[in-house]
Amino acid sequence: MIKVTFVSADGARRTVGIHEGLSAREAALHNSVPGIDGDCSGVCACATCNVHAMKPGPNGLGPRWTAEWKWI
Ligand code: FES
């Protein structure tokens, strides 16, 4: 189980547990995170979901893996 914290535009934070392999969008929708609608089903056409990743570190993300370098 992975913990993901969603921070809304007004600064409200909500941490949810998700299973590995689930997208952030799916995690938000499965946990009814307010403000994330996912209107285009995750094809990056509606801009109703955005991700701002924290810098690598003890409370942030690990280094990118190979597939992430190709996508981002
Ligand atoms: S569902 Fe994420 S941009 Fe549309």
Looking at the predicted structure, is the pLDDT value of residue 14 above 90?
A: yes
- Which helix (H) or strand (E) segment holds residue 29: the answer is helix 24-30
The answer to the question of residue 42 being in a domain is yes
Q: What is the reported pLDDT for 15?
A: 94
Tell me how far the alpha carbon of residue 8 lies from the centroid of ligand 1, in angstroms.
Answer: 16
Domain span holding position 44 = 2-56
The answer to the question of residue 61 being in a domain is no
The answer to the question of residue 34 being in a domain is yes
Instruction: Count the alpha carbons within 13 Å of 44 in the hemisphere toward its beta carbon.
Output: 5
Looking at the predicted structure, is the pLDDT value of residue 66 above 70?
A: yes
Burial class (CB in 10 A: 0-12, 13-18, 19+), 38: middle
The answer to the question of residue 65 being in a domain is no
Tell me how far the alpha carbon of residue 17 lies from the centroid of ligand 1, in angstroms.
Answer: 21
Q: Which of 22, 33, 36, 49 to mutate to test the pocket of ligand 1 (most atoms within 8 A of CB)?
A: 49
The answer to the question of residue 15 being in a domain is yes
Tell which residue, 19, 14, 15, has the closest CA to residue 2: 19
Report how many domains make up the chain: 1
CATH number where 31 lies: 3.10.20.30
**Cβ-contact 3, 16 below 8 angstroms:** yes
Cβ of 37 less than 6 Å from ligand 1: no
- Across the chain, what does the average pLDDT equal? 84
Mean pLDDT in residue range 6-27: 89
The answer to the question of residue 69 being in a domain is no
